[in-house]
Amino acid sequence: MERLTRRTLLRNAAVFGASTMLADGFLDAARADKPIKFVGWVFKPDTVKDYVNYYNQKFGGQVQYEPIPWAQYHPTIETRTFGGEVFDVMYSAHNYRERWYENGLLRVLDDLPGIDELKKKMTPQNLESLKNKDGKLAALPYFTSLFILIYNEPMLRQAGIKEPAKTWDELVEHCMKLKRDKVSDTPYLPNWNVSPSGTMPQFMTDCFSEGASVFDASNRVIVDQEAGAARAMERWQKVWKAELVNPEVLTKTSSTDTHRLFWTGRYAYHTNHSYYLKTIAGEPENSKLAPKKAKMTMYPGTGHTYMWTDSYTINAKTKNLEDAWKLIRFLGGNLTGDWYVQRQWCLISGLDNPYPEMYNHPEIIASYDRWVDLKLLRKQYEKGKVIAAYKEPWYGEYDVKAVPIVHNIIRGTSTVSQGLKELVRLQRSLV
Protein backbone atom coordinates (compact mmCIF):
# COMPACT_ATOMS: atom_id res chain seq x y z
CA MET A 1 0.00 0.00 0.00
CA GLU A 2 1.36 3.40 -0.97
CA ARG A 3 2.34 5.54 1.98
CA LEU A 4 0.27 8.74 2.19
CA THR A 5 2.63 11.68 1.97
CA ARG A 6 1.91 15.36 1.81
CA ARG A 7 2.76 15.26 -1.91
CA THR A 8 0.37 12.35 -2.73
CA LEU A 9 -2.39 13.98 -0.72
CA LEU A 10 -2.03 17.23 -2.65
CA ARG A 11 -1.82 15.39 -5.98
CA ASN A 12 -4.94 13.33 -5.26
CA ALA A 13 -6.80 16.40 -4.10
CA ALA A 14 -5.86 18.21 -7.32
CA VAL A 15 -6.99 15.26 -9.47
CA PHE A 16 -10.27 15.03 -7.51
CA GLY A 17 -10.87 18.75 -7.83
CA ALA A 18 -10.20 18.78 -11.54
CA SER A 19 -12.44 15.79 -12.18
CA THR A 20 -15.26 17.39 -10.19
CA MET A 21 -14.98 20.57 -12.20
CA LEU A 22 -14.93 18.64 -15.45
CA ALA A 23 -17.91 16.56 -14.44
CA ASP A 24 -19.79 19.70 -13.52
CA GLY A 25 -18.89 21.14 -16.91
CA PHE A 26 -20.26 18.06 -18.65
CA LEU A 27 -23.41 18.24 -16.60
CA ASP A 28 -23.81 21.87 -17.56
CA ALA A 29 -23.46 20.95 -21.18
CA ALA A 30 -26.14 18.29 -20.75
CA ARG A 31 -28.56 20.83 -19.28
CA ALA A 32 -30.21 22.44 -22.23
CA ASP A 33 -32.48 24.68 -20.20
CA LYS A 34 -31.81 27.74 -18.10
CA PRO A 35 -33.08 27.91 -14.49
CA ILE A 36 -36.82 28.37 -14.19
CA LYS A 37 -38.60 29.54 -11.05
CA PHE A 38 -41.88 27.73 -10.61
CA VAL A 39 -44.25 28.66 -7.76
CA GLY A 40 -47.53 27.19 -6.65
CA TRP A 41 -49.79 27.12 -3.64
CA VAL A 42 -49.36 24.22 -1.27
CA PHE A 43 -51.35 21.25 -2.41
CA LYS A 44 -49.54 17.92 -2.27
CA PRO A 45 -46.12 19.55 -2.69
CA ASP A 46 -44.39 16.16 -2.70
CA THR A 47 -46.36 15.17 -5.78
CA VAL A 48 -45.34 18.41 -7.46
CA LYS A 49 -41.69 17.86 -6.49
CA ASP A 50 -41.86 14.35 -7.95
CA TYR A 51 -43.03 15.50 -11.34
CA VAL A 52 -40.68 18.47 -11.35
CA ASN A 53 -37.81 16.01 -10.72
CA TYR A 54 -39.18 13.82 -13.51
CA TYR A 55 -39.23 16.83 -15.81
CA ASN A 56 -35.70 17.90 -14.87
CA GLN A 57 -34.37 14.41 -15.52
CA LYS A 58 -36.29 13.77 -18.73
CA PHE A 59 -35.78 17.16 -20.32
CA GLY A 60 -32.54 18.31 -18.67
CA GLY A 61 -34.49 21.09 -17.03
CA GLN A 62 -33.42 23.29 -14.14
CA VAL A 63 -36.80 23.96 -12.61
CA GLN A 64 -36.73 25.26 -9.04
CA TYR A 65 -40.08 24.65 -7.40
CA GLU A 66 -41.28 26.71 -4.45
CA PRO A 67 -44.56 25.98 -2.67
CA ILE A 68 -46.27 28.93 -0.95
CA PRO A 69 -49.11 28.46 1.59
CA TRP A 70 -52.49 28.74 -0.09
CA ALA A 71 -54.00 31.31 2.23
CA GLN A 72 -51.41 33.95 1.32
CA TYR A 73 -50.37 32.69 -2.09
CA HIS A 74 -51.62 35.55 -4.29
CA PRO A 75 -50.63 38.41 -1.94
CA THR A 76 -47.19 36.80 -1.54
CA ILE A 77 -46.66 36.64 -5.29
CA GLU A 78 -47.71 40.28 -5.64
CA THR A 79 -45.52 41.58 -2.81
CA ARG A 80 -42.50 39.60 -4.01
CA THR A 81 -43.07 40.81 -7.55
CA PHE A 82 -43.23 44.32 -6.08
CA GLY A 83 -39.81 43.56 -4.56
CA GLY A 84 -38.43 42.79 -8.03
CA GLU A 85 -38.61 38.98 -8.06
CA VAL A 86 -39.59 37.22 -11.28
CA PHE A 87 -41.35 33.86 -11.10
CA ASP A 88 -41.27 32.31 -14.57
CA VAL A 89 -44.22 29.94 -14.16
CA MET A 90 -46.95 30.48 -11.57
CA TYR A 91 -50.16 28.88 -10.41
CA SER A 92 -53.04 31.31 -10.63
CA ALA A 93 -56.55 30.99 -9.24
CA HIS A 94 -59.15 31.95 -11.84
CA ASN A 95 -60.33 35.03 -9.94
CA TYR A 96 -56.84 36.58 -9.72
CA ARG A 97 -55.73 35.95 -13.28
CA GLU A 98 -57.28 39.02 -14.90
CA ARG A 99 -55.80 41.31 -12.26
CA TRP A 100 -52.37 39.86 -12.89
CA TYR A 101 -52.81 40.17 -16.62
CA GLU A 102 -54.10 43.74 -16.53
CA ASN A 103 -51.15 44.78 -14.38
CA GLY A 104 -48.57 43.29 -16.69
CA LEU A 105 -47.62 40.28 -14.63
CA LEU A 106 -48.75 37.66 -17.16
CA ARG A 107 -48.14 37.17 -20.85
CA VAL A 108 -50.60 35.73 -23.36
CA LEU A 109 -49.95 32.29 -24.81
CA ASP A 110 -51.69 32.65 -28.18
CA ASP A 111 -48.45 33.30 -30.08
CA LEU A 112 -46.56 30.29 -28.72
CA PRO A 113 -45.93 27.20 -30.88
CA GLY A 114 -48.37 24.30 -30.47
CA ILE A 115 -51.03 26.27 -28.58
CA ASP A 116 -53.69 25.79 -31.27
CA GLU A 117 -53.47 22.02 -30.93
CA LEU A 118 -54.03 22.24 -27.18
CA LYS A 119 -56.94 24.63 -27.62
CA LYS A 120 -58.64 22.13 -29.92
CA LYS A 121 -58.36 19.39 -27.30
CA MET A 122 -59.99 21.45 -24.53
CA THR A 123 -63.71 21.61 -23.82
CA PRO A 124 -65.00 24.98 -25.07
CA GLN A 125 -66.30 26.19 -21.67
CA ASN A 126 -62.95 25.57 -20.01
CA LEU A 127 -61.08 27.18 -22.86
CA GLU A 128 -63.34 30.21 -22.54
CA SER A 129 -62.70 30.46 -18.81
CA LEU A 130 -58.93 30.41 -19.37
CA LYS A 131 -59.17 33.44 -21.63
CA ASN A 132 -58.87 37.02 -20.46
CA LYS A 133 -61.54 39.62 -20.90
CA ASP A 134 -59.93 40.62 -24.21
CA GLY A 135 -60.34 37.05 -25.49
CA LYS A 136 -56.65 36.16 -25.35
CA LEU A 137 -55.49 32.96 -23.72
CA ALA A 138 -53.30 33.63 -20.68
CA ALA A 139 -53.17 30.24 -19.02
CA LEU A 140 -53.11 26.47 -19.35
CA PRO A 141 -55.26 24.37 -17.05
CA TYR A 142 -54.05 23.08 -13.68
CA PHE A 143 -57.43 21.48 -12.97
CA THR A 144 -61.12 22.02 -13.42
CA SER A 145 -63.90 21.16 -11.03
CA LEU A 146 -67.58 21.67 -10.44
CA PHE A 147 -70.17 21.19 -7.71
CA ILE A 148 -71.79 17.78 -7.36
CA LEU A 149 -74.41 16.24 -5.08
CA ILE A 150 -73.13 13.39 -2.90
CA TYR A 151 -75.33 11.08 -0.86
CA ASN A 152 -74.78 8.61 1.93
CA GLU A 153 -76.26 5.39 0.54
CA PRO A 154 -76.28 3.30 3.77
CA MET A 155 -78.09 6.09 5.63
CA LEU A 156 -80.77 6.45 2.96
CA ARG A 157 -81.22 2.69 2.92
CA GLN A 158 -81.50 2.58 6.71
CA ALA A 159 -84.31 5.13 6.48
CA GLY A 160 -86.06 3.12 3.77
CA ILE A 161 -85.26 5.64 1.03
CA LYS A 162 -84.58 3.64 -2.10
CA GLU A 163 -83.40 6.34 -4.48
CA PRO A 164 -81.46 9.54 -3.88
CA ALA A 165 -83.37 12.78 -4.37
CA LYS A 166 -83.95 13.92 -7.93
CA THR A 167 -85.55 17.23 -7.03
CA TRP A 168 -84.94 19.82 -4.33
CA ASP A 169 -88.34 19.11 -2.80
CA GLU A 170 -87.47 15.45 -2.54
CA LEU A 171 -84.13 16.27 -0.96
CA VAL A 172 -85.71 18.45 1.70
CA GLU A 173 -88.39 15.81 2.30
CA HIS A 174 -85.74 13.10 2.75
CA CYS A 175 -83.82 15.26 5.20
CA MET A 176 -86.97 16.03 7.21
CA LYS A 177 -87.71 12.31 7.45
CA LEU A 178 -84.15 11.45 8.47
CA LYS A 179 -84.28 14.04 11.24
CA ARG A 180 -87.76 13.00 12.34
CA ASP A 181 -86.71 9.34 12.49
CA LYS A 182 -83.59 10.36 14.45
CA VAL A 183 -81.34 8.80 11.83
CA SER A 184 -79.41 12.04 11.57
CA ASP A 185 -79.50 15.30 13.56
CA THR A 186 -78.42 17.39 10.59
CA PRO A 187 -78.79 15.33 7.41
CA TYR A 188 -77.92 18.08 4.92
CA LEU A 189 -74.38 19.42 4.49
CA PRO A 190 -74.21 22.20 1.89
CA ASN A 191 -70.84 23.88 1.32
CA TRP A 192 -71.69 27.13 3.07
CA ASN A 193 -68.21 27.68 4.45
CA VAL A 194 -66.93 31.23 4.70
CA SER A 195 -64.00 30.88 2.25
CA PRO A 196 -64.15 31.95 -1.42
CA SER A 197 -64.51 28.30 -2.43
CA GLY A 198 -67.61 27.84 -0.27
CA THR A 199 -70.71 29.95 0.09
CA MET A 200 -70.62 31.96 -3.14
CA PRO A 201 -69.82 29.10 -5.57
CA GLN A 202 -72.52 27.12 -3.76
CA PHE A 203 -74.89 30.09 -4.17
CA MET A 204 -74.20 30.24 -7.92
CA THR A 205 -74.60 26.47 -8.21
CA ASP A 206 -78.00 26.43 -6.57
CA CYS A 207 -79.13 29.45 -8.60
CA PHE A 208 -78.07 27.66 -11.81
CA SER A 209 -79.86 24.50 -10.72
CA GLU A 210 -83.02 26.57 -10.30
CA GLY A 211 -82.58 27.97 -13.79
CA ALA A 212 -81.50 31.39 -12.56
CA SER A 213 -78.67 33.53 -13.84
CA VAL A 214 -76.45 35.33 -11.38
CA PHE A 215 -74.80 37.76 -13.82
CA ASP A 216 -76.05 39.26 -17.07
CA ALA A 217 -74.03 39.51 -20.29
CA SER A 218 -72.25 42.62 -18.95
CA ASN A 219 -71.36 40.73 -15.77
CA ARG A 220 -73.74 42.75 -13.61
CA VAL A 221 -75.37 40.90 -10.70
CA ILE A 222 -79.05 40.39 -11.47
CA VAL A 223 -80.21 37.96 -8.79
CA ASP A 224 -82.91 40.35 -7.57
CA GLN A 225 -84.73 39.80 -10.86
CA GLU A 226 -84.38 36.01 -10.90
CA ALA A 227 -87.19 33.90 -9.46
CA GLY A 228 -84.85 30.88 -9.35
CA ALA A 229 -82.42 32.71 -7.07
CA ALA A 230 -85.24 33.56 -4.69
CA ARG A 231 -86.41 29.92 -4.74
CA ALA A 232 -82.90 28.71 -3.90
CA MET A 233 -82.60 31.16 -1.00
CA GLU A 234 -86.05 30.32 0.34
CA ARG A 235 -85.01 26.68 0.38
CA TRP A 236 -81.79 27.55 2.22
CA GLN A 237 -83.76 29.47 4.83
CA LYS A 238 -86.16 26.58 5.18
CA VAL A 239 -83.47 23.92 5.80
CA TRP A 240 -81.68 26.24 8.24
CA LYS A 241 -84.84 26.99 10.18
CA ALA A 242 -85.73 23.30 10.31
CA GLU A 243 -82.22 22.66 11.72
CA LEU A 244 -81.39 20.23 8.95
CA VAL A 245 -77.91 21.77 8.57
CA ASN A 246 -74.97 21.71 10.98
CA PRO A 247 -74.85 25.42 11.97
CA GLU A 248 -71.06 25.43 12.28
CA VAL A 249 -70.72 24.99 8.55
CA LEU A 250 -71.03 28.80 8.36
CA THR A 251 -67.75 29.24 10.23
CA LYS A 252 -65.80 26.42 8.60
CA THR A 253 -62.86 28.11 6.95
CA SER A 254 -62.44 25.87 3.91
CA SER A 255 -64.21 23.42 1.64
CA THR A 256 -61.70 20.81 2.78
CA ASP A 257 -62.83 21.17 6.41
CA THR A 258 -66.45 21.04 5.30
CA HIS A 259 -66.14 17.86 3.27
CA ARG A 260 -64.36 16.14 6.17
CA LEU A 261 -67.59 16.37 8.18
CA PHE A 262 -69.15 14.01 5.65
CA TRP A 263 -66.46 11.40 6.45
CA THR A 264 -68.26 10.76 9.75
CA GLY A 265 -71.24 9.17 7.98
CA ARG A 266 -73.65 11.33 10.01
CA TYR A 267 -75.00 13.27 7.04
CA ALA A 268 -77.21 12.13 4.19
CA TYR A 269 -76.54 14.72 1.47
CA HIS A 270 -73.52 16.86 0.73
CA THR A 271 -72.78 19.38 -2.03
CA ASN A 272 -69.15 20.21 -2.71
CA HIS A 273 -66.39 20.18 -5.34
CA SER A 274 -66.30 16.94 -7.33
CA TYR A 275 -62.79 15.88 -6.25
CA TYR A 276 -63.75 15.69 -2.58
CA LEU A 277 -65.76 12.57 -3.36
CA LYS A 278 -62.40 10.83 -3.85
CA THR A 279 -61.51 11.14 -0.17
CA ILE A 280 -65.10 10.54 0.99
CA ALA A 281 -65.68 7.40 -1.07
CA GLY A 282 -62.15 6.31 -1.84
CA GLU A 283 -60.14 6.58 1.38
CA PRO A 284 -61.27 3.98 3.94
CA GLU A 285 -58.44 5.07 6.24
CA ASN A 286 -60.17 8.46 6.63
CA SER A 287 -63.81 8.11 5.75
CA LYS A 288 -66.55 5.88 7.12
CA LEU A 289 -68.23 6.13 3.73
CA ALA A 290 -65.43 4.43 1.82
CA PRO A 291 -65.25 2.37 -0.26
CA LYS A 292 -68.04 3.76 -2.39
CA LYS A 293 -70.69 4.01 0.30
CA ALA A 294 -71.01 7.66 -0.64
CA LYS A 295 -72.11 8.19 -4.22
CA MET A 296 -72.86 11.04 -6.52
CA THR A 297 -76.13 11.67 -8.25
CA MET A 298 -77.03 14.27 -10.84
CA TYR A 299 -77.59 17.70 -9.34
CA PRO A 300 -81.33 18.39 -8.83
CA GLY A 301 -83.33 20.92 -10.83
CA THR A 302 -81.81 21.81 -14.17
CA GLY A 303 -78.68 19.87 -13.21
CA HIS A 304 -76.44 22.85 -13.98
CA THR A 305 -73.68 23.54 -11.47
CA TYR A 306 -70.89 26.07 -11.18
CA MET A 307 -67.62 25.02 -12.88
CA TRP A 308 -64.24 26.76 -12.78
CA THR A 309 -60.69 26.20 -14.01
CA ASP A 310 -57.50 27.07 -12.14
CA SER A 311 -54.34 27.45 -14.07
CA TYR A 312 -50.65 27.77 -14.80
CA THR A 313 -49.41 31.09 -16.17
CA ILE A 314 -46.17 32.55 -17.55
CA ASN A 315 -44.66 35.74 -16.18
CA ALA A 316 -44.55 38.57 -18.72
CA LYS A 317 -41.04 39.41 -17.51
CA THR A 318 -39.57 35.93 -17.87
CA LYS A 319 -36.18 35.89 -19.52
CA ASN A 320 -36.54 32.21 -20.39
CA LEU A 321 -39.72 32.17 -22.41
CA GLU A 322 -38.77 29.07 -24.38
CA ASP A 323 -38.11 27.02 -21.26
CA ALA A 324 -41.09 28.46 -19.40
CA TRP A 325 -43.33 27.50 -22.32
CA LYS A 326 -41.86 24.02 -22.34
CA LEU A 327 -42.53 23.62 -18.60
CA ILE A 328 -46.06 24.95 -18.77
CA ARG A 329 -46.86 22.55 -21.61
CA PHE A 330 -45.57 19.74 -19.43
CA LEU A 331 -47.77 20.91 -16.56
CA GLY A 332 -50.95 21.98 -18.28
CA GLY A 333 -50.64 20.44 -21.71
CA ASN A 334 -49.26 17.25 -23.12
CA LEU A 335 -45.52 17.66 -23.65
CA THR A 336 -44.75 14.02 -22.91
CA GLY A 337 -47.54 12.68 -25.15
CA ASP A 338 -49.10 10.78 -22.23
CA TRP A 339 -50.66 13.69 -20.28
CA TYR A 340 -48.20 12.96 -17.50
CA VAL A 341 -49.03 15.72 -15.00
CA GLN A 342 -52.75 15.94 -15.80
CA ARG A 343 -52.97 12.17 -15.36
CA GLN A 344 -51.12 12.29 -12.02
CA TRP A 345 -53.64 14.74 -10.61
CA CYS A 346 -56.57 12.63 -11.80
CA LEU A 347 -55.09 9.49 -10.26
CA ILE A 348 -53.84 10.97 -7.00
CA SER A 349 -56.50 13.52 -6.13
CA GLY A 350 -59.40 13.19 -8.52
CA LEU A 351 -58.63 16.65 -9.90
CA ASP A 352 -60.25 16.76 -13.30
CA ASN A 353 -58.95 18.46 -16.40
CA PRO A 354 -60.54 19.97 -19.47
CA TYR A 355 -59.13 17.41 -21.94
CA PRO A 356 -61.94 14.87 -22.51
CA GLU A 357 -59.71 12.41 -24.37
CA MET A 358 -57.87 11.72 -21.07
CA TYR A 359 -60.94 9.98 -19.73
CA ASN A 360 -60.58 7.15 -22.25
CA HIS A 361 -57.28 6.14 -20.67
CA PRO A 362 -57.67 2.68 -19.00
CA GLU A 363 -55.63 3.74 -15.97
CA ILE A 364 -57.92 6.71 -15.36
CA ILE A 365 -61.06 4.61 -15.81
CA ALA A 366 -59.79 1.98 -13.36
CA SER A 367 -58.77 4.60 -10.82
CA TYR A 368 -62.06 6.56 -10.94
CA ASP A 369 -64.01 3.33 -10.70
CA ARG A 370 -62.77 2.99 -7.13
CA TRP A 371 -64.63 6.13 -5.97
CA VAL A 372 -67.11 7.45 -8.52
CA ASP A 373 -69.31 6.55 -11.45
CA LEU A 374 -67.12 8.15 -14.11
CA LYS A 375 -69.84 8.22 -16.76
CA LEU A 376 -72.16 10.08 -14.41
CA LEU A 377 -69.40 12.51 -13.47
CA ARG A 378 -68.70 13.23 -17.14
CA LYS A 379 -72.43 13.75 -17.67
CA GLN A 380 -72.42 16.24 -14.80
CA TYR A 381 -69.49 18.04 -16.48
CA GLU A 382 -71.65 18.49 -19.56
CA LYS A 383 -73.93 20.52 -17.29
CA GLY A 384 -71.09 22.59 -15.84
CA LYS A 385 -71.59 26.34 -16.19
CA VAL A 386 -68.77 28.84 -16.25
CA ILE A 387 -69.04 32.55 -15.52
CA ALA A 388 -67.03 35.46 -16.85
CA ALA A 389 -67.66 37.87 -13.98
CA TYR A 390 -64.47 36.82 -12.20
CA LYS A 391 -62.58 38.63 -14.94
CA GLU A 392 -63.93 41.93 -13.64
CA PRO A 393 -61.70 43.95 -11.28
CA TRP A 394 -64.41 44.18 -8.62
CA TYR A 395 -65.10 40.44 -8.49
CA GLY A 396 -62.65 39.47 -5.71
CA GLU A 397 -64.06 42.02 -3.30
CA TYR A 398 -67.65 41.23 -4.26
CA ASP A 399 -67.01 37.51 -3.79
CA VAL A 400 -65.80 38.05 -0.20
CA LYS A 401 -68.26 40.76 0.84
CA ALA A 402 -71.22 38.83 -0.55
CA VAL A 403 -70.68 35.93 1.87
CA PRO A 404 -72.04 37.70 4.99
CA ILE A 405 -75.05 38.90 2.99
CA VAL A 406 -75.88 35.35 1.93
CA HIS A 407 -75.24 34.08 5.47
CA ASN A 408 -77.73 36.66 6.73
CA ILE A 409 -80.30 35.38 4.23
CA ILE A 410 -79.69 31.80 5.36
CA ARG A 411 -80.04 32.70 9.06
CA GLY A 412 -83.12 34.77 8.37
CA THR A 413 -81.57 37.99 9.66
CA SER A 414 -82.51 39.49 6.32
CA THR A 415 -85.35 38.49 4.03
CA VAL A 416 -84.67 36.80 0.70
CA SER A 417 -85.76 39.85 -1.23
CA GLN A 418 -83.70 42.26 0.92
CA GLY A 419 -80.64 40.02 0.74
CA LEU A 420 -80.75 39.59 -3.03
CA LYS A 421 -81.19 43.34 -3.49
CA GLU A 422 -78.25 43.90 -1.17
CA LEU A 423 -76.08 41.65 -3.35
CA VAL A 424 -76.98 43.76 -6.36
CA ARG A 425 -76.26 46.98 -4.44
CA LEU A 426 -72.91 45.60 -3.31
CA GLN A 427 -71.86 44.80 -6.85
CA ARG A 428 -72.94 48.20 -8.16
CA SER A 429 -71.03 49.95 -5.37
CA LEU A 430 -67.80 48.26 -6.41
CA VAL A 431 -67.95 49.03 -10.11
Partner 1 sequence: MAPSGVSRGRLTALIVAPRLAFRGVRLSEARFASLLILPAFLGIVVVVVFPLVYSLWMSFADVNLLRATGPAIEVLGVRIPLFRFIGVQNYVRIFSDPLYWDSFWRTAYFAAAFVAETTLVGLAMALVLHERFAGRPLMRSLLLIPWALSRVVVGLLWQGILDVEFGAFNGFLYNVGAIDSYVSFFKNGFSALNVLVSVYMWNQGPFATLLFLAGMQSIPLELYMAAEADGAGYWQRFRYITLPALRGILFLVLVVSTVNGFLMLDLIYVLTMGGPGNDTTTISWLGFQTAFQFFKFGPGTAVLYTLTVLCLILTVVYHKLVFRKLETEA
Judged by the rule CB under 8 A, the positions of this chain that interact with partner 1 are 71-72, 75, 78-79, 81-82, 84, 99-100, 103-105, 185, 194-195, 246-248, 250-251, 253, 261, 264, 266, 396-397, 400, 403-404, 407-408, 411, 413
Neighbours of 146 (CB within 10 A): 25
Minimum Å gap between C-beta 77 and partner 1 is 10
What residue type is 301 in one-letter code? Answer: G
From CA 64, how far away is CA 237, in angstroms rounded?
Answer: 49
Minimum Å gap between C-beta 72 and partner 1 is 7
Nearest to partner 1 of 142, 192 (CB atom): 192
Say if CB 214 and CB 192 are below 8 A apart: no
Minimum Å gap between C-beta 419 and partner 1 is 11
Nearest to partner 1 of 61, 396 (CB atom): 396
Length of the chain: 431
Bridge partner residues of 270 (DSSP): 150, 189
Minimum Å gap between C-beta 90 and partner 1 is 13
What one-character DSSP code corresponds to residue 86?
-
Minimum Å gap between C-beta 75 and partner 1 is 5
Cis peptide before 291 (omega within 30 of 0): yes
Nearest to partner 1 of 263, 355 (CB atom): 263
Nearest to partner 1 of 98, 352 (CB atom): 98
Backbone angles phi, psi at 325, to 5 degrees: -65, -40
From CA 44, how far away is CA 270, in angstroms rounded?
Answer: 24
From CA 133, how far away is CA 185, in angstroms rounded?
Answer: 46
Nearest to partner 1 of 240, 330 (CB atom): 240
Minimum Å gap between C-beta 248 and partner 1 is 5
Minimum Å gap between C-beta 102 and partner 1 is 8
Neighbouring residues of 84: CB distance < 8 A, sequence distance ≥ 6? none
From CA 275, how far away is CA 349, in angstroms rounded?
Answer: 7
Beta 188-189 vs 384-385: how paired, if at all? unpaired
